[in-house]
Amino acid sequence: MLRDFYELPGPDVLRTLRGFCGVETVALSDADAIERALSFAERGMEFADALHLAQSNACEAFVTFDNRLARSAKRLSEARVRLA
């Protein structure tokens, strides 16, 4: 994780990622999903999990083995969440 490698607090990492996404020469494959993921992460979800959830919009359901992630996903998102 970035915060572990660079020994930065999570909010600093998220702020840096937001800044990086705003750089003119950076092309994002799905800017809307990245924005949703950053928003989920700012509200307590791990960024990698948040990105998976944010990219599940067109899916029938978001499926996970992780109980904590399922609870967070239900709280933060309108996605249909199922535990595997």
Other CB atoms within 10 A of residue 67 CB: 9
pTM of the entire structure? 0.83
What tens digit of pLDDT does each residue of 15-61 get?
988 898 889 999 998 999 999 999 999 999 999 999 999 999 889 99
| pLDDT-derived band at 10, boundaries 50, 70, 90 | confident
Tell me how far apart the alpha carbons of residues 21 and 71 are, in angstroms, rounded to a whole number. Answer: 28
- Of 55, 48, 58, the closest CA to residue 69 belongs to 48
